[in-house]
C-alpha cells in the first residue's frame, strides 16, 4: 500500500509534526510506502483560482496542483494530520482539498452531476486541539467536523473513512508521558487498520 501523509501545521517542532513522523515510521515498519506533503514547508497556495472552477470551459490547473495530483495518483491511504483552529481545519488544508481533490481528481463529471474518482481508497485523520478532548466531544465540535469534513470528503470522492483520532488539551505544556501516549496511539491505529493478514502477504 502507499500512504500520503498530509501535514498542515506551520511548526516542524509541533505535536502534529511528531504525529506525522510517527505515522510514517509505523507505516514503513509494515513495509508500506509513504510520501509526506508538509503543506506549510511547501508553501502551498490554498487559494482556488477562477480558472480551476468547473464551468462551461475545461478547468485549467496550475503546475503545483498538477504536480500534487500526479504524486497522489496511486495513493491508497490519505492521512490528514492537523490542529483544530476555531474547531475547523487550517485554511491551508481546506485550500489543498479544494484545489487538489476537486474536479478531475477527487471526482469527475457524470451525467446529471459528478461521480467519485477515488473509490477503494481510504482516509484517516489525526487532529489536535488546545481545548480538552471531552469539551470537543461533548459540545459536538468533533462530530460536526467529522460529518462536514471527513464524511463529506469521503462521500464526494469515494474514500472510506477508517478513523479520526483526536487529541485534546495538547497545545502547550504537554508532558513527556502524554506525548509518548499520543505516539503510542498513532502506532496502534496504524497497526489496527493497515497491518496485513498473513494470507495477504505474498
* pLDDT number for residue 174: 85
Phi, psi of 173 (to 5 degrees): 70, 20
| Nearest-angstrom CA–CA distance, 138 and 142 | 9
Is 159 within 8 Å of 123 (Cβ atoms)? yes
CATH number at residue 151: 3.40.50.360
Mean pLDDT of 65-71: 97
pLDDT tens digit sequence for 89-108: 999 999 999 999 999 999 99
| Nearest-angstrom CA–CA distance, 19 and 183 | 6
20 to each of 34, 84, 122, how far by Cα in Å? 11, 16, 17
Residue 127 — very low, low, confident or very high, per pLDDT cuts 50/70/90?
very high
Chain center to CA of 45: 17
Residue 200 — very low, low, confident or very high, per pLDDT cuts 50/70/90?
low
133-136: long-range contacts (C-beta < 8 A, 24 or more apart)?
133/166, 133/167, 133/168, 133/169, 134/168, 135/168, 136/84, 136/87, 136/166, 136/168
Is 167 within 8 Å of 182 (Cβ atoms)? yes
190 or 59, which is more confident: 190
| Nearest-angstrom CA–CA distance, 110 and 198 | 39
* pLDDT number for residue 85: 92
Q: Which residue range is the domain that position 143 belongs to?
A: 2-200
Is 89 within 8 Å of 82 (Cβ atoms)? yes
Count of domains forming the chain: 1
Residue 197 — very low, low, confident or very high, per pLDDT cuts 50/70/90?
low
Amino acid at each position: 500500500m502507499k500512504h500520503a501523509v498530509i501535514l498542515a501545521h506551520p511548526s516542524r517542532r509541533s505535536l502534529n509534526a511528531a504525529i506525522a513522523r510517527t505515522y510514517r515510521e509505523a507505516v514503513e515498519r509494515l513495509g508500506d510506502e509513504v510520501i509526506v506533503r508538509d503543506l506549510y514547508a511547501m508553501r502551498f497556495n490554498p487559494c482556488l483560482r477562477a480558472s480551476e472552477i468547473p464551468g462551461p470551459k475545461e478547468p485549467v490547473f496550475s503546475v503545483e496542483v498538477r504536480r500534487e495530483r500526479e504524486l497522489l495518483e496511486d495513493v491508497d491511504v490519505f492521512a490528514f494530520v492537523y490542529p483544530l483552529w476555531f474547531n475547523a481545519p487550517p485554511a491551508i488544508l481546506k485550500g489543498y482539498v479544494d484545489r487538489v481533490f476537486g474536479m478531475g481528481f477527487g471526482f469527475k463529471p457524470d451525467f446529471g452531476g459528478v461521480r467519485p474518482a477515488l473509490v477503494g481508497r481510504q482516509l484517516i485523520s489525526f487532529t489536535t486541539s488546545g481545548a480538552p478532548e471531552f469539551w470537543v466531544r461533548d459540545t459536538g465540535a468533533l462530530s460536526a467536523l467529522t460529518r462536514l469534513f471527513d464524511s463529506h470528503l469521503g462521500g464526494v470522492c469515494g474514500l472510506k473513512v477508517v478513523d479520526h483520532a483526536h487529541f485534546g488539551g495538547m497545545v502547550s505544556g504537554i508532558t513527556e508521558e502524554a506525548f509518548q501516549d499520543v505516539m503510542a496511539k498513532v502506532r496502534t491505529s496504524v497497526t489496527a487498520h493497515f497491518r496485513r493478514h498473513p494470507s495477504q502477504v505474498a
